[in-house]
Amino acid sequence: MSDEVWAPAACTLPTAERPFRVAEFDELFAAGVRHRPERTRLVLDLEARPEIAARAADLVVRETGCCSFFTFVLTASGGALSLAISVPAEHVAVLDALEAR
């Protein structure tokens, strides 16, 4: 999957920094189990450890700074940790590309 598909024109992250951001998402996704309850929403179940929650929170805060169309909800409850990622319908292709990574 090319970074151009994953990072649409609406993304303001400098092109030179995109491979590093993609690698961070790849690392986070490798540590979790994902499921797609809706076309515009992806949920990643993560290992409930403070360092993973902190890494996910840091990443999504930075991501919303350059791709403001994403909505991230990080939830810790009942000994579980999950990250829900939502996009407007016009950005479903970006979510598809993110899931495919």
Domains of the chain are 34-101 (3.30.1070)
> Cα 21 to the chain's mean position, in Å?
10
Going by DSSP bridges, is the β-strand pair 41-46/32-38 parallel, antiparallel, or unpaired?
A: antiparallel
pLDDT of residue 7: 63
Give tens-digit pLDDT for 73-94.
Answer: 999 999 999 999 999 999 999 8
Residues 40 and 19: their CA atoms lie apart, in Å, by 24
Residues 11, 83, 34, 90: is their CA dihedral positive or negative? negative
pLDDT of residue 6: 58
Residues 13 and 83: their CA atoms lie apart, in Å, by 21
Give tens-digit pLDDT for 16-70.
Answer: 788 888 888 888 878 778 899 999 999 999 999 999 999 999 999 999 988 889 9
